[in-house]
Amino acid sequence: MGELSAKIRVDSELISGSVDNRMFGSFVEHLGRAIYGGVYQPDHASADESGFRTDVLDLVKDLRVPIIRYPGGNYVSAYKWEDAVGPVGQRPRRMDLAWKAVEPNTVGLDEFYRWAKKAGSDVMMALNLGTRGIEEARNFVEYCNHPGGLYWSDLRRAHGREEPYNFRVWCLGNEMDGPWQIGCKTADEYGKLAGEVAKALKLFDPTLELVVCGSSGPGMPTFPQWEATVLEYCYEHVDYISLHTYARKDGDSLSAFLAESVRFENFIKAVESTVQFVKAKKRSRKDVKISVDEWNVWYHSIGKESDDDLWQVGRRLLEDVYTVEDALVVGCFLIVLLRHAATVRMACLAQLVNTIAPILADKEGPAWKQTIYYPFLHCSLYARGEVLDTRIESPGYETEVYGFVPYIDGVAIHRPDAREIAFFSVNRHETDTVRALVKLAGFSGLSVIEHVVISDRDPLASNTREAPDRVSPGKDASTKCDGEVLRASLAPLSWNMIRVSYRDCARN
Ligand code: AHR
């Protein structure tokens, strides 16, 4: 084992953005056991009076998720919202073609809204622009957001919900560039439709925040022309363009897997540039922002699903069991998101419970935290602040696809109210500790509050029902401040959160 070093520099006056609370959003889809067997399971020992699992709810609440995208995903592209409202006993059972399951509509709009409120979250509502269009979208928005006195809003009141739900954020479809999507479209077809739906929704309420679909991933053959074409149709009517990305490990190459965040960052940069291109072309004064409304690691379950439970409610699908390596990649993605906080204003970890999720829930047994729960938790709790421009000089390694990749990536967040700086960092080195010298220019009276670490002698270790705490954060007590410099040892293959308090900040 050797010891390498990295120099990191931040300055209290160099702020690259502020983190929107909605950066720590998540996603719950009618998919697999996310709803039936995750959020909702009336026969479970922990179920409350509404059938919601309180063990799951408690773990969600601790994550402090401000907004949850719903109800899909691929599911939304054939979603008939009218099936999901009104008396539960009268709702139809439907075939869900996206996931080859049965949707009983037992959990519908009102039930999910009430669950989200219990979790302390708002709902980011997605519209079906796969099989439906302007007419259904405007009716749905009236049902959800209008106080009353009109047909659809009165129907909501007749269904027992007097006050409007008042959903602020609406996604204009899902992954409409994807050939797997029901009702997928060309960029021209989708851009025109999304622009018209957006126009109608803004006529109803100009303060609604609308998200138009960008590419389903940087590997899509239509990327990035898709973004340019779609935005040309609807630039003035929308507020965000979405970006989806999932990291996967191909074969055994851990170093390539850990570099997936470089691919993610290049994707964001290309979308940022495309937005600027269309803005310039339109002579617009407005900046469309980015919503990374699906992101995660997803590969363990791919190709391993069984057909035994086809066309059943709550099929077991996409139940990735995450490792320490996966937690590091999630950490790297969080660092990228924070670095781009000026343009990425919303993001949703996909998903929340059971399906590619930080929380797994056993049918008869408990719910527990997966490895990826922790980096998300750390950032959700301590990264809501100002992003300090973080300059890193680190040794690294060569990759075939991305060239040089530094071992150390990181970002510092300043929370003036708490008089705290949190430095989030990943060491990608597989065997060596990296000594980090972080110069925090402009801050004085520094003192380490805690250095929280996730690392393990077995990078493939994961948490299971039998060993739910096999991987959990530890502490490094050796981290010290010396004048303006923070000195820390970043263990091989580790995720780190170092919180530092200060007495004075030069800017104040
Ligand atoms: O999150 C799982 C699926 O991934 C979503 O349904 C879809 O939008 C994406 O392809």
Residue nearest to atom 1 of ligand 1 (CA): 350
Q: Active site includes 175? A: yes
Tell me the C-alpha to C-alpha distance, in Å, between residue 320 and each of 209, 277, 298, 350, 465: 32, 38, 7, 12, 14
What is the DSSP secondary-structure string of 327-360?
HHHHHHHHHHHHHTTTTEEEEEEE-SBSSS-SEE
- Using CB distances shorter than 6 Å, the residues near ligand 1 are 29, 72-74, 174-175, 216, 294, 350-351
Residue nearest to atom 9 of ligand 1 (CA): 73
Choose one of 28, 33, 174 to mutate for the ligand 1 pocket test, by most ligand atoms within 8 angstroms of C-beta.
174
Tell me the C-alpha to C-alpha distance, in Å, between residue 369 and each of 74, 372, 464: 25, 8, 9
Q: How many CB atoms lie within 10 A of CB 464?
A: 13
Helix (H, G, I), strand (E, B) or coil at 452: strand
Which atom of ligand 1 is the closest one to the Cα of 294?
Answer: 1
Which atom of ligand 1 is the closest one to the Cα of 31?
Answer: 6
Helix (H, G, I), strand (E, B) or coil at 140: helix
Residue nearest to atom 2 of ligand 1 (CA): 73
Which pLDDT score is estimated for 508?
59
State the distance from the centre of ligand 1 to the C-alpha of 141, rounded, in angstroms.
23
Which pLDDT score is estimated for 94?
97
Q: What pTM did the predictor assign?
A: 0.97
Stretch (H or E) spanning 42: none
Of residues 237, 244, 347, the one with CA closest to residue 291: 347
Which residue among the candidates 111, 136, 294, 325 is catalytic per the annotation?
294
Which pLDDT score is estimated for 260?
97
Residue nearest to atom 3 of ligand 1 (CA): 73
State the distance from the centre of ligand 1 to the C-alpha of 78, rounded, in angstroms.
14
Question: Backbone phi, then psi, for 130, in 5-degree steps?
Answer: -85, -60
Which pLDDT score is estimated for 252?
82
Choose one of 28, 29, 292, 348 to mutate for the ligand 1 pocket test, by most ligand atoms within 8 angstroms of C-beta.
29
Cα 203 from Cα 220, distance rounded (Å):
33
Per-residue pLDDT tens, the chain, 508 aa: give them: 557 999 999 999 999 999 999 999 999 999 999 999 999 999 999 999 999 999 999 999 999 999 999 999 999 999 999 999 999 999 999 999 999 999 999 999 999 999 999 999 999 999 999 999 999 999 999 999 999 999 999 999 999 999 999 999 999 999 999 999 999 999 999 999 999 999 999 999 999 999 999 999 999 999 999 999 999 999 999 999 999 999 999 888 999 999 999 999 999 999 999 999 999 999 999 999 999 999 999 999 999 988 989 999 999 999 999 999 999 999 999 999 999 999 999 999 999 999 999 999 999 999 999 999 999 999 999 999 999 999 999 999 999 889 999 999 999 999 999 999 999 999 999 999 999 999 999 999 999 999 999 999 999 999 999 999 999 999 999 999 999 999 999 999 999 999 999 999 997 5
State the distance from the centre of ligand 1 to the C-alpha of 217, rounded, in angstroms.
11
Residue with tokens 């029902």: 465
Residue nearest to atom 5 of ligand 1 (CA): 73
State the distance from the centre of ligand 1 to the C-alpha of 351, rounded, in angstroms.
9
State the distance from the centre of ligand 1 to the C-alpha of 485, rounded, in angstroms.
43
Average pLDDT, rounded, for the chain? 97
Residue nearest to atom 4 of ligand 1 (CA): 73
Which residue among the candidates 29, 111, 136, 175 is catalytic per the annotation?
175
State the distance from the centre of ligand 1 to the C-alpha of 292, rounded, in angstroms.
13
Helix (H, G, I), strand (E, B) or coil at 479: coil
Which atom of ligand 1 is the closest one to the Cα of 74?
Answer: 6
